[in-house]
Amino acid sequence: VLSQENDFQTWTSVSASKKIIKKTNLIVKQGARFRENSSMYSKLFTDIKIKRKYNKHFSFAAGYRHSTDWNKKQDLENKNRFYVDFTYRKKLNRFNFSIRNRLLKQGLKDDYEDIFRQKFSTNYNIRKTKLEPSLAFEYFYSLEKIIKKLRFTGGMTYPILKDLDFELAYRIQQEFNTNNPETLFILDGKMSYNF
């Protein structure tokens, strides 16, 4: 018998991006996630990456994330993630399309897992307004040749100041190929600043 778990979560993050050399940015992100109907800590993380724009269509990034996760018994687990991104962007009229391919290795101490993530996203620049809606779809594929998760996201970005943006999104995440797959309903709030 397979059981299904549902949970409403809140994910929050703040990030800052600084140009360090031509076409290359350092990005630091701090995040917190809450589970059990957003009543308990799930994860705290710090993510650091260097992103380089190759041309107007292609960019590359390499990063590291350290997270402190609380498991179901509320025990702490310190996890590491190493990743590289390859992103393709295309602008068509007022639409922006992107495909991000991410290879990552994450886990605890000596127990690491390799995952490939591919994310398709689009946003639309609405004429005569600062609001920018977006849609995204992402899948997580393990080296055991199985899909582990799917994510569907709809969001809205608003520039608070010239270099400060706020994004509010709603995400549904579905797990697969596990004994107790979770379906998460996630409210995601992000603040990002560009120096």
DSSP three-state, residue 160:
strand
Phi, psi (rounded to 5 degrees) for 4: -120, 130
What is the Cα–Cα distance from 115 to 35, expressed in whole angstroms?
A: 23
Residue type, 90: K
The answer to whether the beta carbons of residues 35 and 187 sit under 8 Å apart is no
Q: Which residue has the tokens 């292609």?
A: 58
Q: Which residue has the tokens 């350092």?
A: 26
pLDDT at 3: 59
- Among residues 59, 52, 45, the alpha carbon closest in space to that of 15 is found at 45
Cα angle: 104, vertex 133, 175; to 5 degrees: 40
The model carries a pTM of 0.92
What is the Cα–Cα distance from 86 to 102, expressed in whole angstroms?
A: 7
What is the Cα–Cα distance from 153 to 97, expressed in whole angstroms?
A: 14
Name residue 69's beta-bridge partners: 43, 77
> Strand 5-21 and strand 182-194: pairing?
parallel
Q: Who's near 2: CB < 8 A, 6+ residues apart?
A: 179, 180, 181
The answer to whether the beta carbons of residues 114 and 143 sit under 8 Å apart is yes
pLDDT at 1: 43
* Residues of the chain falling short of pLDDT 50: 1
Q: Who's near 90: CB < 8 A, 6+ residues apart?
A: 57, 96, 97, 98
As a whole-number percent, the residues of the chain with pLDDT over 90 amount to 87
